[in-house]
Chain A
Amino acid sequence: MSREQKNIFQNIDWIITGLFLLLVLLGWLNIYAAVYNDDHNNILDISQKYGKQMMWIAGALIIAIVVLIFDANFFTAFPYPIYIASVLSLIAVIFFGTEVSGSKSWFRFGDFGLQPAEFGKFAVCLALAKYMSAMNTRVEHFQTKVIAFSIVLFPALLIVLQKEAGTALVYTTFIFVLFREGFSGNILLGGFFTTLLLLSALLVNKTVLVILLALIAAVISFAIWVSSRNRKKAKRVIWAVFALLIIASGAVLGVDRAFSKMKPHQKTRINVFLGKEVSKDMKKKAGYNVNQSLIAIGSGGFSGKGFLQGTQTKYNFVPEQSTDFIFCTVGEEWGFLGSAFILFLFLALILRILFIAERQRSSFSRIYGYGVASILFFHVTVNVGMTIGLAPVIGIPLPFFSYGGSSLWAFTILLFIFIKLDSNRLLILR
């Protein structure tokens, strides 16, 4: 045990904490706006989702303080037990969980429910940090790669078995962490782009997609050129990026056709998702909910319709508008200004985490920080991307924003462990 901190708030990063509080508060207001109706208009009414969310937020703040009270060493010492506990809960839910719309991923306690998959994320994050930061771990070794992937993929597999494929996909985000820690950039980038490409080929106009890809390639090349001290090696990487671009462009044209045969299945999924029949004219390429989501966001215009003035979200045109499609409320009521502001908040939070991760003296903290940033990034990208038609409809929440206790608490734990680790960086050398 090292020296005791005098105050649990000592040395904590107030920028991250501030961004966290701001996002949670804005999320609550938007849930209020999404669910609001004239009969129930008291934001503190706990019979309504916004009232419940207020309780979840209160719980999250308590959890945050509890995490800060814990000794930082607890998190560095027990990642594996935490990981094992998490895996056990993931297995347990398959047998003892409550079935909700086809998937078995919830423990129900009366009115409230917990989703172990949400809490798996920080467990994996901790375990991966522990393993990768160990003195005897060498990234070059094949064995290291196998173990690192296994830590990530085992829980993901269990989540797939719960029929929560969307949540499982989140675990692919750890490629950023592994890449940062020295895994081959080419293979991971290739995998990343392949995934992105296959998904986006379904949603985006082919021409637009090819242009987008070219843009990304150019940005990446530029970044590599600027950041690399080895100009020769950088050149090679850039060539590789452009070769990938050409392959990708070719693939886009093929994928589009191949996936068009999957439509009936998609349609069925959406119908199940909505729990009702979807009228024929609503059948758009990206499905009913994405179309409604686009309408809600698109109708927001520059400055939006105003707080509580949204029609598409308030009157249930957008399904799941308080959970997965909460960004629609932002887009409709606050317009481009509000949407851009929220995206900037998320980007600021993620970049601040990366910045702080890089200043850690302990590689455990750095790896954990990258894990946190990657998870947040994946959620924001897929969730917002889904609402604006740039990502497939995967039911994952927008961090701190979406209604729901499990996801809010899980993200709070995830983030505050990092804040705790960071606040201790000067005290201990790990």
Chain B
Amino acid sequence: MTSQFSDRKYVIIVIFSAIILIFLTRLFYIQLIDDQYKLTARNQAFRYMVDYPARGNVFDRKGKRLVYNQAAYDLIVIPRQVKKLDTAEFCKVLSIDRKIFLKRMEKAILPPNSSRKPSIFEKEISIEHSSILQEKLYKFPGFFLQPRTLRKYPEPIAPHLLGYVGEVSEKITDTSSYYMDGDYIGISGLEKAYEKVLRGIKGTHIEVVDVHNRPQGSYMNGMYDTAAVAGKDIVCTIDAKLQAYGEKLMLNKIGSVVAIEPSTGEILAFISSPGYDPNLMVGSALPKNYKILQQDTLKPLFNRALMASYPPGSIFKLINSLVGLQEGTLTPENLYPCRGGYPIMGGKPKCHAHSSPRDLVGAISTSCNSYFCYVFRGIIDAKKFGTTKKGYEVWRNHVLTFGLGKPLGSDLPYELRGNVPSIEYYMKKFFGKNDFKSSTIVSLSIGQGELGILPLQMANVMCIIANRGFYYIPHTIKSIDGKSIDQLGFRKKQITTINPKHYEIVVEGMAKVVESGTAAMQKIDSVPYCGKTGTAQNPHGKDHSVFVAFAPKENPKIAISVVVENAGFGSQFAAPVASLMMELYTTDTIKRPEVEKRMFEMDLIHKIQPIKKQ
């Protein structure tokens, strides 16, 4: 039966269909085009829980543990679950007062925290304290202990070498895909250098939560979870005994000691004084202690061994000798006069009293300034180079091969370069359009002037001479996770441009320094060694006392550089420290207790201060 209004069915059909079509369009948009709902869903229902791996331990070269993880606990609170709390007892257990309790509870409830969300109530409770707390925890619903780890340094040594671990900066979290807010990262020293090895790899597991933030288990049976990979242990090249001894010797002195094994480039001791107890730079106490150390006028945080650039003083005469010998402008038999100074330039630079004239060995052993002015000017003014400028360039290129004027490329972060001035620098500073004159830069002969050498570089120069012509890049890593570090590039011989045969005469000279020269007071019984004193002039105060050496003379086991700032002659301060350390390392005993005692008790820091106060 057809109805009068039968056509109206089409209108109804079209309306019904149109609305379903609109719905489909809308679904298409929210499900396929707009991503915001997918993101929001993930944020609402998923908690990305991070599994932190244990950080690797650090051992010294003899297997002694230097750094490990100490378990501690954070006390966590979920405010909503806190019920019928005996506040007085709770405060007593934690040794806090009621005011602090209320303040912390408020903090746990206010954003970004919430009463449903767990947040830290008290950080880093020691194991001893936490076990007391654990027993009483049943009385405090809503509170629980969460394990975490802190770095622990069983012996408070080598802070600058080991470095420290702290919370990552915003700068890193912004650029890194790995680090998240609140993560820990190595900030200096080995902790920084081997961060990736030590830290391991964080794992994540996705926990599904319901609308009340209650965990509902893993997502898809953990299909998208990743397991944490534990950090690897590393063995460093440090000899903890030597390090601790050196630090004791350097107590109350400003300066640095670097000791290297010449045959491998392994750093045996690495001291910057004054230092600090590395246990201060741990966990929640770090920011406070960092600030205190930073404000200390003696700059305990400053890593002098890598970052203090000193004029090397007389120890640089060794390098000038080697360059002269290589270029043939100097022979060991050359005799040069000294009349209390360099005669050519009216007795300047000055020199101390000794017999004259001297040959090379004699000049090294007495550290004759005049002699090395002849040597240095003899090189750069040599006729075969045509101009002094060319001569200087040849000289400089030789010097650079000793690992000076550039970072050595060790594995420690923040290594500086030192300075071996370029021709351009001198042209600009002194000569302008005039000729390059050797007399102007004659102070380079004796290691003064614009030269800057780091303590690490000084020790490395000793390795070169001990090895008679080569070195391995100094490094602090011995093995990672029990595997050797051959692939890190520290096994490649770095050769100087000086023929090995020229080294013997310099070694003879350095042996003479100890036998009868400037360091004759610091002989080690049964271990003949080679050394060179230096007294580096310093515009800011008293001269720096410098001593470099290696021992024994044949088949050297240790090369060392010691700088004691504002102390005076190298022979008086640096040489005893160096000789005692070499004695300990090569003979394992100290047979000069009176020297040791004098050095232990010598206080160069507090001696200065009363004078300042006057």
Contacts and interface: CB of A to CB of B under 8 A. Distances in A.
Interface stretch (A98-106, A111-119, A217-225): A217-225
Interface of B: 1, 3-20, 22-24, 26-28, 30-32, 34, 36-38, 40-42, 44-46, 208-212, 216-217, 219-220
**In the complex, which of the residues B13, B28, B41, B211 has the most CB atoms of chain A within 10 Å of its own CB atom?**
B41
Given A298-B31, A311-B46, A351-B16, 16 more contacts: A219-B18, A220-B15, A223-B14, A227-B10, A294-B30, A295-B41, A311-B208, A315-B208, A317-B44, A317-B210, A317-B211, A340-B27, A347-B20, A377-B16, A377-B19, A381-B19
Contacts of B26: 388-390
A339 B32 CA distance: 12
Nearest to A281: B111
A299 interface: yes
Contacts of A309: 220
B5 A182 contact: yes
B12 A180 contact: yes
Contacts of B6: 358
A113 B217 CA distance: 35
A315 B217 CA distance: 11
Contact of A315 (B1, B18, B211): B211
Interface string A344-364: 101100110010001011110
Nearest to B22: A212
**In the complex, which of the residues A294, A315, A384 has the most CB atoms of chain B within 10 Å of its own CB atom?**
A315
A362 B38 CA distance: 51
Contacts of B11: 179, 185, 220, 223-224, 227
B3 A366 contact: yes
Given A299-B38, A302-B32, A358-B6, A363 B45 contact: no
A22 B468 CA distance: 92
A80 interface: no
A385 interface: yes
Given A220-B15, A223-B14, A228 B46 contact: no
12 contacts: A38-B217, A180-B12, A182-B5, A220-B18, A295-B41, A297-B37, A298-B30, A336-B31, A343-B23, A358-B9, A381-B19, A388-B23
Nearest to B213: A315
Contacts of B12: 176, 179-180, 354, 370
A385 B23 contact: yes
Interface residues of A, number: 61
A312 interface: yes
A370 B209 CA distance: 46
Given A212-B22, A315-B216, A351-B13, A180 B8 contact: yes
Given A180-B12, A316-B211, A336 B37 contact: no
A390 B23 contact: yes
- By DSSP majority rule, is chain A's interface helix, strand, loop, or mixed? helix
Contacts of B44: 295, 311-312, 317
Nearest to A339: B27
A307 B3 CA distance: 47
Given A227-B7, A336-B27, A363-B1, A354 B13 contact: yes
A216 interface: yes
A71 interface: no
- Name the 5 nearest CB pairs between A and B, nearest first: A298-B37, A299-B41, A315-B210, A311-B45, A223-B14
B38 A301 contact: yes
Contacts of A340: 24, 27
Interface in A384-409: 384-385, 388-390
Contacts of A256: none
B23 A298 contact: no
B3 to A, nearest CB: 7
Contacts of B41: 295-296, 298-299, 311-312
A373 B46 CA distance: 42
B13 to A, nearest CB: 6
A377 B7 CA distance: 19
Nearest to B217: A38
A312 B5 contact: no
Given A212-B22, A350-B16, A388-B27, A361 B1 contact: yes
Interface in A284-302: 294-302
Interface in A21-54: 38
Interface string A175-189: 010011110010000
A172 to B, nearest CB: 14
Contacts of B40: 295, 298-299
A226 interface: yes
A354 to B, nearest CB: 6
